[in-house]
Amino acid sequence: MSTVQASTALPATTGPWAHLDAHGTTQLNVAVATADGALATVLPRGSHLPSCGELLLTTSGHQEQKLRLVLLLGLRPMASACRVLGTLDVPVEPEERGLAQVSLSVCASAGQLCAVAHNVRSGARVFWVFDEAAAEAAAEVAADGAGATGRGSGLPMPWRFGNCYAEARHPGVVVAGRYLPLPHERGVAMPHGADGAWDGEVVPSATAAKVRPASQYLRWPHSLP
Amino acid sequence: MWPASYLLARCLAAPPLEIAMRGAAVIELGAGCGLPGLASWACGARRVVLTDLPENLPRLDAIIDANGADDASGRLRVSTAALDWCHPLPAALMQPWDFVVAADAVFWPALFAPLLDTIDALSQCGRDGVRAGVGTRVLLASTDRGRAAAFAAAAAVAGWTLEERHVDAGDARTSVCELVRQSGNKSS
């Protein structure tokens, strides 16, 4: 574990939540910049404080050694149009893109904004607490191009089931804060014409072999409703 | 593992179900990789049984081993059991269940009726071994591949209503529904 930046709780008037609406809800999204220059929202606008959000992220490039999480505040869809709150660098194991899993949790109260990035496979955690001065410094770094997108930038993409980014299959998933390894079957021969069937779609001829009554539909396809 | 499995797991691990999972007895039908059942375990379920056809149990056992979730120590709470929907419910599974969960179990129309019969039997196993039909919640996740309407119709005939609980933000075809007994229909 390591602490990147830390500060004491900020007064609401100087913190990121100076713009609450009359109902005490946030008016801007808290998001993380993604490798395509867009945002992945962690805490949506309209959240009642205190509030927490969580997002599972992954690498966008092969053999990345870190995931650079640029926290943003704003409403516009592009990262470059939002205010930079801070940056966390989370070390990840170099491997094919899309396989690393980093869970980002953001918690906000009226006077404080903090985040924890958790590499769910290694267990490493990086903590971050909003600091006005640090945010300004991070914004300057971002303006200088350090937050540029593309391979090697370390910017993440939201993790998704099906892993459209990589040929390899995920070795497990995170649920309820716990990493659940799910060993896959190896050497399973898919039926002819079922190439690319690992995208989450059912291959009828594959499943029917395991589901006895369904075999009738393969024998008499016209009986499908 | 299919998207519906992942969606159901996330749904079980999020409020309000996350709280209901604590201390619950959960049975998963057609478990495959058993992700929803393992998610229940991760949320604090008291007892989880992953069921599938007998030939699929070795894989499930391996996954339980990989997760350190076997009950050999008497402290952890996940096990497997063979369950063929086309056969009568094994006596070992005639216990009170707080949750019956299944992901992508409604692909083959030939299995709609056996699945609904199995759910009906499981949901009516009372806490004293009496068929009471109280308190069991049935959650089904599926990706609609053109058969959702047919399954809803089959469920209605069997006295159930499908109520949508959660839809995958990334794929509107994938959703989690709760199977609720139609009012006035106590059992079949």
Burial environment of residue A1 by CB neighbours within 10 A (0 to 12, 13 to 18, 19 or more): exposed
Locate the domains of chain A by residue range. 2-181, 187-225
Which helix (H) or strand (E) is A2 found in, with range? strand A2-5
The yes-or-no verdict on residue A203 having pLDDT over 70 is no
**Bond preceding residue A50 cis, omega within 30 of 0:** yes
Yes or no, beta carbons of B108 and A176 under 8 Å apart: no
Residues of A with a Cβ under 8 Å from any B Cβ are: 160-162, 173, 175-178, 180-185, 200, 202, 204, 207-208, 210-214, 216-217, 224-225
**CATH architecture label of B3-87+94-181:** 3-Layer(aba) Sandwich (3.40)
The yes-or-no verdict on residue B75 having pLDDT over 80 is no
Q: Which of A157, A179, A180, A201 to mutate to probe the B interface, most B CBs <10 Å?
A: A180
Average of pLDDT values for A74-96?
88
Amino acid B5 reads: S
Residues of A in contact with B42 (CB under 8 A): 175-178, 180
At A17-71, the pLDDT tens digits run 556 666 777 888 899 999 888 889 998 888 888 888 888 899 988 889 999 999 9
Q: How far is CA A57 from CA A39, A104, A150, B18, in A?
A: 12, 7, 16, 22
The yes-or-no verdict on residue A197 having pLDDT over 80 is no
Q: What is the mean pLDDT of chain A?
A: 73
User: pLDDT > 90: what percent of chain A?
Assistant: 12
pLDDT at residue A166, as a whole number = 62
**Bond preceding residue B3 cis, omega within 30 of 0:** no
Amino acid A119 reads: N
Q: How many residues does chain A have?
A: 225
Write out the CATH class of domain A2-181: mainly beta
Split at pLDDT 50, 70, 90, the class of B169 is low
pLDDT at residue A5, as a whole number = 43
Q: What does pTM read for this prediction?
A: 0.71
At B16-72, the pLDDT tens digits run 898 999 999 999 999 988 999 999 999 989 899 999 988 889 889 989 988 886 655
At A97-124, the pLDDT tens digits run 888 889 999 988 877 788 999 998 888 8
Average of pLDDT values for B166-171?
71
Distance from CA of B130 to the nearest CA of A (A): 31
Distance of alpha carbon A44 from its chain centroid, rounded? 15
Locate the chain A residue with the closest alpha carbon to B151. Answer: A225
Closest CA to B99 of B135, B54, B62, B149: B135
Residues A191, A205 contacting (CB under 8 angstroms)? yes
The tokens for A91 are: 């070390």
